[in-house]
Amino acid sequence: MTTTTDRSDRLPALLDELALATPVAEDDEPFVALTTLSSGTADDHRPRRVLAAAAACLVVGGVASVAWAFTSQDQPGDPQPAPAAQAPDPATPDTPPSRLDPTLYPMIDEPPLGLPVTARSDAYPGGSLRTEALIGQRAGAVVSDTVTISVHADPIEISPMAGRPPVATEVFGQPAMSYDYGQIDRPPLTHVTWGTGPYFVASGADPLVFFEVASADSLDATVDTDGRPQLAIGSLPEGYEVIVEPAIVGLPMRGATLSIGLDNYDISVSANNYVTWMAEVAPLRQVDVAGRVGWMSDTDDPGITQDVAWQVDESTYAYLKVNDGTDAAGALELAQQITFVDYDTWVARYLPEQQDLPRPTAPATTDPG
């Protein structure tokens, strides 16, 4: 029998240490609230975000334009600003997009237990740009031994988890580092990094098992002339297959969430495939969501949230998270009830709390297929 000692007496000092290590800009900076007014002039075609970001950078020392994303939120019930004139999207079929927005947004007509529904739209400023794919071993509807392969154009730095140092290893004969990201009450998670450019990260319960049977031609990475990493999956060892095709991750993007009840259910959409994330927590089980391929975490662990992820259209991925003890069948049933509409219809229906973004860049469609 193991016992644990009450260490709570150490918490105040450790929390204080963390708090005091937080950099805080000079206190003599003035308070500046950037708010949007509803009286935008029709003849002003300057993107609002440019003005806001410029002002934010001007008056809040050291705070990058991401500050704007958090300081310009409208409150629920506030008058909705007139849609900003949309700047022409520089993206053409020949140039990759500079941001990713979903084209469809979630609605639910009959929330469970009649719980209230609130909506929110978030702006994500973008992170480490990479191309990412998910592979795994399939046995019937269940996919396990998943490995997420990420390719970066620039060198990457992984923070050791809880002070655990990385372990030197090899991938395809190249020196590699393995980082143990195991968490309490969670399956193990390991990140393996290698490469001298492009730079690889493989994440999963034990990615090295995959590399023991894979050959160097399984993965091929390059960097485009525009600096974006590309990943091609070649021949895979027997039993492995591609679950999520390589796709760019880390561009600025919009996400939207419907929250049902206080913490009961969250339904999110974005242009990022949530399945890759889910695979880090548990094996995946393929399900049918209104005629589309969906995935659920395949686990009986009560500590792991029931969730369902599925692709709604080419640029929209949906994710349902259940927090109230609903079982897998109930979660899937709820997912089947979610419908999707274009951005304008969604905003009109839910009046979401949202950040002051330009309208979605991708053309909206009301046909989820």
Partner 1 sequence: MGVTSSQGDPLLEIVSTRSTSNDSDPAGDRGEHREVEPWFDELYRSQRANIVRLARLLTGSTAHAEDLAHEAFVRVYRRGSPIEEPVTFLRTVTVNVCRSWHRNAQRERLRMERHGPAADHVTPQARELDASLARLPYPERAVIVLRYWLDLSEVQIADALACRPGTVKSRHARALRKLNKEISR
Closest contact distance (angstroms) between CB of 162 and partner 1 is: 4
> What mask, x for binding partner 1 by CB under 8 A, covers residues 295 to 334?
------------------------x---------------
Distances (CA, A) of 118 to 269, 272, 275, 305: 14, 22, 24, 20
> In the range 144-163, which residues lie near partner 1 by CB under 8 A?
150, 152, 156-163
Q: Any contact of residue 207 with partner 1 (CB under 8 A)? A: no
Which residues in 28-67 contact partner 1 (CB under 8 A)? 28, 30-37, 39-41, 44, 46, 48, 51-52, 54-55, 58-60, 62-63, 66-67
Q: Is residue 259 involved in binding partner 1 (CB under 8 A)? A: yes
Q: Coil, strand or helix: which one is 48?
A: helix
Residues 217 to 236: which contact partner 1 by CB under 8 A?
none
7, 116, 363, 367: residue in contact with partner 1 (rule CB under 8 A) = 7
Q: What is the dihedral of CA 126, 127, 133, 136, to 10 degrees?
A: -120
CA distance 42 to 22: 43
CB of 323 to partner 1, least distance (A): 9
Please compute Rg for the chain using Cα positions.
23
d(Cα 54, Cα 225) in Å, to the nearest integer? 30
Sole binder of partner 1 in the list 103, 146, 270, 316 (CB under 8 A): 270
DSSP states along 70-95: HHSPPPTTSPPPPPPPPPPP---TTS
What residues between 66 and 105 interact with partner 1 by CB under 8 A?
66-67, 69-71, 73, 75
If one asks whether residue 8 binds partner 1 (CB under 8 A), the answer comes out as yes
Sequence-distant (≥ 6) Cβ neighbours of residue 11 within 8 angstroms:
none
Nearer to partner 1, 132 or 145 (CB): 132
Q: Are strands 284-289 and 142-152 parallel, antiparallel or unpaired?
A: antiparallel
